[in-house]
Chains A and B, each alone.
Chain A
Amino acid sequence: GNSVTQMEGPVTLSEEAFLTINCTYTATGYPSLFWYVQYPGEGLQLLLKATKADDKGSNKGFEATYRKETTSFHLEKGSVQVSDSAVYFCALSGGRDNYGQNFVFGPGTRLSVLP
């Protein structure tokens, strides 16, 4: 079945440091890939997405490129801020008709950014 693997962290960085959170996936067919972010005490919200190979999703300075050859979707940001402290989830949507099974999440990576 479909699965998502990501570094669990926690990841602690200083402000303005470069961020990479690795994500790899296993899926049949051609899934859509997502990064969701969860701020303390809140639900998850979509950060960015990519729907086909070589697509780059971007939002709020974060980027991720859909790499089919390496089955990866690594999240990057060139200069993190304290306000980026959150838990980040990599996820995929398998595109099958069974929508309830479509979304598969990684375990989440906690990021702490220190001033």
Chain B
Amino acid sequence: DAGITQSPRHKVTETGTPVTLRCHQTENHRYMYWYRQDPGHGLRLIHYSYGVKDTDKGEVSDGYSVSRSKTEDFLLTLESATSSQTSVYFCAISAGSEKLFFGSGTQLSVL
């Protein structure tokens, strides 16, 4: 199994508070992604990174920011959490376009 660790695994927070989710990899893969999973929508890409300090937006990036200061870490920040951001968040990594490896997910509840 690919070495991907997401933290925290579960988080409950209040509307308007900042939240940061962390993804850590030990595979030295170039590409890292953040997805959210919601019923009826499958997985939707939030942001991705193609190298240190190189990031770009996905289809549902509003309200989210990311940072990648090291190859192994990719942070997802909700600057001011809203109830619509209650979801399961998955980090994924890839060495190219052939295959994604996923973390175990973070269940985020915004009350």
Contact = CB atoms under 8 A, between A and B. Distances in A.
A105 to B, nearest CB: 4
Contact of B42 (A34, A41, A99, A106): A106
Contact of A100 (B44, B56, B102, B104): B56
Chain B interface, >50% SS class? strand
Contact of A101 (B40, B45, B105): B45
Interface residues of B, number: 27
Interface string B48-74: 111000001010000000000000000
Interface range for A: 20 to 34
Given A46-B99, A93-B98, A107 B45 contact: no
Interface string A30-73: 00101010000111111001010000000000000000000000
Contacts of B40: 8, 107
Given A43-B105, A100-B56, A107-B40, A95 B97 contact: yes
